[in-house]
Amino acid sequence: MRQWWKKALLSLGLLVLLALGALVWALQQHPSLRPYADLRWNAPASGDALPRPKVMFLGVSTVLLDDGETALMTDGFFSRPGKLQTFLGKVEPDMEAITQGLRRAGLPSETGKLAAVIPVHSHYDHAMDAPEVVRRTGALLLGSESTANVGRGAGLAESQIRVAKLGEPQRFGRFTVTLYPSRHAPTGFTGGEITAPLRPPVRASEYKEGQSYALHVAHGGRTLLIVGSAGFEPGALRGVQAEVVLQGIGALGPRPESYRDALWTEVIAAVGARRVIPIHWDDFWQPPGQPMVPMPPPLDDFDASMAYLRDRGAREGVEVRLPLEWQAMDVWAGLPARH
C-alpha cells in the first residue's frame, strides 16, 4: 500500500509540473498582429507636421496628448514589472523605466509642458508610476481619492494632487477635460478603494480600482474619449459627444457577446463615435522598451475582441484602427469637423 501511495504522489507531482510547464508556455504565446495589418495606423512621412493636438499611445492605457504648448497624459505607466514579481512579490515604480519612457515620449525633464497626469483608475498598471511622473514634470495628479492616496504614499505635496469632480470641465491650456464615471471590466481585480496613503513596494493587489473614469477631451472643436478599461457605467455618457474613442479592450475577449454589445451601445454608440482605436490590449508584463504584443490567450482573447470590433464597426460605419506605438497620430485625420 505504501508503495502505491508513493507512485500516486509521484504521478500527481509530475502532473502538476506538466500543468505548470504548460501554463508557462501558454503565457509566452502572444497572438499575432499580422492579421490586422489593414487596421494599423499609417506612420506619418518623415518630417511631416501633424495638426494639433497629437496623440501618442505609450502602452496599456497610457496616452499622451500634446498641442505643442500643453500636454496631458493618462496613467503614466512605464515600469511593467514581470509576471513573477507581480503575482508572487511586490511592485514599485522602476525609476530607470520611467526615465526612459518620459524621454521616449518627448518629456525628458521638467519643462512645465505636462499639465496633468490622469490615471483612469488606480490599479498598479495605471496609477503606480503616476506620482513619480508628476514629481519629475511638475504636473498635477488628477484622479480619484484612491489615486490621491497613491500620490500621498509617494510623498507628493497636496498642492500637486487634485481629486476630480465627476462631470466638471477642467481647462489645461486649450484642452478641456471632463471625467465621467466608468467601471473596470468584470475581473477578479474589479472594485475596492485605497483608503490610506499607499507606500510601495506593496503587493499589486493593494492597488485597488477606486473610481474608474471615461475621460472626455475637447480641443479646438475636436473631441476625444479615452476609456481605459473594457467596462462602462450604464447611462453615464448620455448626451456626451466624441468623434474618436480610444477604447480599452483588455479582458473584453472572454466576455459574452451580450456584454460586448452593451459596451458598444453604452460607449461607442452613445457618444456618436466615428472612429475607434483599441488600447490596453498589450501584454503589460513585457519588459519596458520591447515591441508591444497582445496579451496571451490564457488571460485574454485579443482575436475575439478584434473580430467583434471589426464586424460591428463595418456594420455601423465606424472605423476601427490599431494605434501606432510611441508615435504621434492625428486621430481625427480624414474625419470632417462637426459644426
Mean pLDDT of 247-273: 97
207 grid coordinates? 492597488
Q: In the predicted model, is pLDDT for residue 45 greater than 80?
A: no
- CATH homologous superfamily of 58-329: Ribonuclease Z/Hydroxyacylglutathione hydrolase-like (3.60.15.10)
Q: Let me know if 239 is exposed, middle or buried by CB neighbors in 10 A (0-12, 13-18, 19+).
A: exposed
Q: In the predicted model, is pLDDT for residue 110 greater than 80?
A: no
- SS3 string, the chain, reads CHHHHHHHHHHHHHHHHHHHHHHHHHCCCCCCCHHHHHHECCCCCCCCCCCCCEEEECCCCCEEEECCCCEEEECCCCCCCCHHHHHHCCECCCHHHHHHHHHHCCCCCCCCCEEEEECCCCCHHHHCCHHHHHHHHCCEEEECHHHHHHHHHCCCCHHHEEECCCCCCEEECCEEEEEEEECCCCCCCCCCCCCCCCCCCECHHHCCCCCEEEEEEEECCEEEEEECCCCCCCCCCCCCCCCEEEEECCCCCCCCHHHHHHHHHHHHHCCCCCEEEEECCECCCCCCCCCCCECCCCCCCHHHHHHHHHHHHHHHCCEECECCCCCEECCCCCCCCCC
pLDDT at residue 27, as a whole number = 52
Q: What are the residue ranges spanned by the domains of the chain?
A: 58-329
| Lowest-confidence segment of 105-109, 117-121, 172-176 by average pLDDT | 105-109
- Residue 201: asked if its preceding bond is cis (omega within 30°), the reply is yes
Please write the tens of the pLDDT for every residue from 140-199: 999 999 999 999 999 999 999 999 999 999 999 999 999 999 999 988 778 899 999 999
| Lowest-confidence segment of 21-35, 42-56, 133-147, 172-186 by average pLDDT | 21-35
Cα–Cα distance, 115 to 141 (Å, whole number): 9
In degrees, to the nearest 5, what angle opens at C-alpha 148 toward C-alphas 147 and 150?
A: 65
Residue 21: pLDDT band by 50, 70, 90 thresholds? Answer: very low
Mean pLDDT of 12-24: 48
Q: In the predicted model, is pLDDT for residue 48 greater than 90?
A: no
Q: In the predicted model, is pLDDT for residue 126 greater than 90?
A: yes
In degrees, to the nearest 5, what angle opens at C-alpha 232 toward C-alphas 228 and 238?
A: 115
pLDDT at residue 3, as a whole number = 66
Mean pLDDT of 290-298: 93
83 grid coordinates? 509576471
Q: In the predicted model, is pLDDT for residue 11 greater than 80?
A: no
What is the overall mean pLDDT for the chain?
A: 91
Cα–Cα distance, 312 to 218 (Å, whole number): 26
Mean pLDDT of 114-134: 98
pLDDT at residue 232, as a whole number = 97
Q: In the predicted model, is pLDDT for residue 25 greater than 90?
A: no
Q: In the predicted model, is pLDDT for residue 23 greater than 50?
A: no
pLDDT at residue 143, as a whole number = 98
pLDDT at residue 17, as a whole number = 46
Query: Hunting for cell 488628477 — which residue is that?
Result: 142
**Beta partners for 319?**
275
Q: In the predicted model, is pLDDT for residue 229 greater than 70?
A: yes
55 grid coordinates? 496623440
pTM of the model: 0.90
- Cα end-to-end distance, the chain, whole Å: 83
Q: In the predicted model, is pLDDT for residue 22 greater than 60?
A: no
